[in-house]
Amino acid sequence: MRLSQLVKSVAVLDMVGDVDPDITGLFYDSRKVQPGGLFFALKGVASDGYAFIEVAVKAGAVAVVIEDDRTPADIAWVRVADGRLAMSLMAAAFYANPAAGLPVVGITGTNGKTTTTFLLESIFEKGGLPAAVLGTVNYRFGDLSIPAPNTTPESVDLQQTLRKLVDAGAKGIVMEVSSHALQQRRIDGCSFNVGVFTNLTRDHLDYHLDMESYLQSKTRLFSELLVPDEKKPERHAVINTDDEYGRRIAQAAACPVVTYGIEKSADINAENVEFSVSGISCTLATPKGRIELRSMLVGRFNLYNIMAAAGAGVALGLPLESIKEGLEHHGQVPGRLERVENALGVTVLVDYAHTGDALENVLLTMTELKKGRIITLFGCGGDRDKGKRPIMGEIAGRYSDLSIITSDNPRTENPAEIMAQVREGIVRLGICEYSSYEAAIFQEKGFVSIEQRQDAIRLAVKAARPGDIVLLAGKGHEDYQIIGKEKFHFDDREVAAQACREKAGQNQ
Ligand SMILES: CC(=O)N[C@H]1[C@@H](OP(=O)(O)OP(=O)(O)OC[C@H]2O[C@@H](n3ccc(=O)[nH]c3=O)[C@H](O)[C@@H]2O)O[C@H](CO)[C@@H](O)[C@@H]1O[C@H](C)C(=O)N[C@@H](C)C(=O)N[C@H](CCC(=O)O)C(=O)O
Ligand SMILES: Nc1ncnc2c1ncn2[C@@H]1O[C@H](COP(=O)(O)OP(=O)(O)OP(=O)(O)O)[C@@H](O)[C@H]1O
Ligand SMILES: N[C@H](CCC[C@H](N)C(=O)O)C(=O)O
Ligand SMILES: [Mg+2]
């Protein structure tokens, strides 16, 4: 595609170059530029992309997009006010707007996005619209599964992936929209039909700095990206109005809002709710009618996810029967309260709770359902929000009989320091600290710190008695551990299964 054609999709401030090069690819990282590429020189947190123009040109870039007053020599360039926005719009144009003609649902919020995408994928399927799904676990459609380095990919990768999945036959798109993606305009080239808000609680304050800024980035989806237009005149916001931030977002929405909630009266409410170890049964009252539902998902927080998915289905005008079937017959959401089968009589669950709110919700559910004791193992990721560490420590300590602090993905931080910050939260409860030997035979409420996650999981299994719940939190579906800048294979489910087999073998 010619550069002049590509720039039609953006507001150009200035443009220089005697030729109109044919652009064969879009790149935002000089290290990945291919000959014929258009390079976007973006100002980032860690570096300024302008500094890499020379490298990009050497690698074959034929034009650059810049967002400041400097002017590169000997290369065609385009100046725009916001490079990331321009990149999103150009990427959509370059890949022939894969999302334009399809129903597209974007889900945002601190917790519950991945779970809700799985429910919606199932609803779309039952409604005869097999959907492409992009989120934390992977980017997928049918047999195609692409690894997901980020929950929401950078705009160029997003549009390229959507093109691939739509060409493979996807009839709808369901995607998680992270606050980073909203802030960085990764999704501005996508035309959404429905936006879903799940909830907002503390996370990512390393990046957003405070809750107001975090809220503002989430709000963009509803106030700026769901404005009805001639291409998509029917757009809807589906919002959890039990959440105080949800109520504020509903007021800022640029399109009709479908509200849902358990506590407050909303367009979608749940009646006759029964929670048990085997799932949730309830009647969903929706503007289109009632749905009698039996879900295999466990816990009150999952009822919110069910209502979010039902709300999106209703907003899209899908038949109630498809919504019911989709919600009742979906696969296991990987690493979300995923059971590790064992012969010990212990309920071993792997879960992705990596925020205080998620951990509290899961532990409240466990507290309601428990027959024995609760053993919780978790850590906190490095190079991420430090403030949530003691909060998570305190929550684990409050609800668990034994808390095991361990390493998550330490990244470039020292795991022992991260664990010490988690420990501060538990210590303030005055709970007894055990050695690993004492923890294995614990009688009283206590906690222990074990840095190697594998050893920590073995200890959790060793300490468990029949009837106990072992919750392995924070890494969910992840099959790796990031230490320094390297990724090593690590899967809580595999390690726990092995530990259970070993213990069962010793018991015989
Ligand atoms: C904090 C954050 O979101 N950072 C993203 C951001 O980086 P940045 O703007 O700071 O980039 P930078 O490193 O300063 O570099 C500036 C520019 O120079 C370029 N560059 C850099 C070096 C070089 O040699 N050549 C070159 O061209 C970079 O590619 C970039 O375009 O833009 C980069 C390019 O798109 C992203 O790769 C990067 O994501 C990093 C890897 C990341 O870890 N992001 C996480 C926090 C994230 O996005 N998470 C969310 C939420 C997860 C959830 O809770 O579900 C997600 O959607 O996954
Ligand atoms: N609606 C909810 N409210 C609070 N906690 C939830 C909710 N749904 C799930 N959780 C908890 O949060 C964890 C993460 O859930 P899920 O992966 O669905 O969220 P997410 O928003 O996709 O997270 P991420 O930001 O990491 O992508 C779950 O493992 C569970 O512990
Ligand atoms: N998408 C989340 C995942 C956190 C998972 C946890 N295991 C960690 O590495 O911190 C994030 O980037 O904050
Ligand atoms: Mg997710």
Which pair of tokens denotes residue 245?
Answer: 């931030």
Which ligand is located closest to the Cα atom of residue 307?
2
**Given the CA of residue 482, which atom of ligand 3 is nearest to it?**
9
Compute, in angstroms, the gap from residue 158 CA to the centroid of ligand 1.
14
409 Cβ below 6 A of ligand 3: yes
DSSP E strand boundaries for 249-386: 257-260, 269-276, 279-286, 289-295, 338-340, 347-351, 374-378
User: What stretch of H or E contains 39?
Assistant: strand 37-40
Tally DSSP H helices, then E strands, for the chain: 17, 25
Q: Is 474 annotated to bind ligand?
A: yes
Query: Across all residues in the chain, what is the average pLDDT?
Result: 96
* CATH class for the region spanning 338-507: alpha beta
Atom of ligand 1 nearest to the CA of 181: 57
Residue 268 to residue 233: CA distance in whole angstroms: 23
Kindly report the backbone phi and psi dihedral angles of residue 400, in degrees, each rounded to the nearest multiple of 5, phi listed first: -105, 150
Contact 128, 170 (CB under 8 A): no
How many A from CA of 381 to the centre of ligand 3? 6
d(CA 106, CA 162): 13
Cβ–Cβ < 8 Å for 150, 158: no
In short, whether 114's Cβ falls inside 6 Å of ligand 2 is yes
Which residues belong to CATH 3.40.1190.10 in the chain?
104-328
Cβ of 207 less than 6 Å from ligand 1:
yes
Spatial separation of the C-alpha atoms in residues 406 and 404, rounded to whole Å: 6
Closest CA to 105 of 257, 292, 269, 312: 312
Q: Where in the chain is the domain with CATH 3.40.1390.10?
A: 3-94
**Between the CA atoms of 343, 349, 350 and 356, what dihedral angle is there, to the nearest 10 degrees?**
-160
Nearest to 317 by CA among 100, 105, 106: 105
Q: What is the CATH number of domain 3-94?
A: 3.40.1390.10
Say which ligand is closest to the CA of 480.
3
Question: Under the phi-then-psi rule, with left for phi > 0, alpha for psi from -120 to 50, and beta for the rest, what region is 240?
Answer: beta
Mutate which of 33, 40, 45 to test ligand 1's pocket (most atoms within 8 Å of Cβ)?
45
Tell how far the Cα of 159 is from the centroid of ligand 2, in angstroms.
25
Kindly give the distance from the C-alpha atom of residue 198 to the centroid of ligand 2, in angstroms, as a whole number.
Answer: 9
**How remote is the C-alpha of 412 from its chain's centroid?**
22
- Measured N-to-C along each axis, helices 453-463 and 492-507 cross at an angle, to the nearest 10 degrees, of 40
pLDDT digits (tens, 9 = 90+) for 115-161: 999 999 999 999 999 999 999 999 999 999 999 999 999 999 999 99
Query: For the chain, how far is it from start to end, CA to CA, in angstroms?
Result: 69
For ligand 3, atom 10, the nearest C-alpha belongs to 381
pLDDT tens for the 508 residues of the chain, in order:
999 999 999 999 999 877 789 999 999 999 999 999 999 999 998 899 999 999 999 999 999 999 988 888 889 999 999 999 999 999 999 999 999 999 999 999 999 999 999 999 999 999 999 999 999 999 999 999 999 999 999 999 999 999 999 999 999 999 999 999 999 999 999 999 999 999 998 888 888 989 999 999 999 999 999 999 988 999 999 999 999 999 999 999 999 999 999 999 999 999 999 999 889 999 999 999 999 999 999 999 999 999 999 999 999 999 999 999 999 999 999 999 999 999 999 999 999 999 999 999 999 999 999 999 999 999 999 999 999 999 999 999 999 999 999 999 999 999 999 999 999 999 999 999 999 999 999 999 999 999 999 999 999 999 999 999 999 999 999 999 999 999 999 999 999 999 999 999 987 7
Cα(379) to ligand 3 centroid in Å equals 11
pLDDT at residue 61, as a whole number: 97
CATH 2.30.30.140 fits 104-328, yes or no: no
* Structural contact between residues 382 and 467, judged by C-beta atoms closer than 8 angstroms: no
- Protein residue whose Cα sits closest to atom 2 of ligand 3: 354
Nearby residues of 25 by Cβ (< 8 Å), 6 or more positions away = 34, 36, 37, 38
Ranges of CATH 3.90.190.20 domains, the chain? 338-507
- What ipTM did this prediction achieve? 0.96
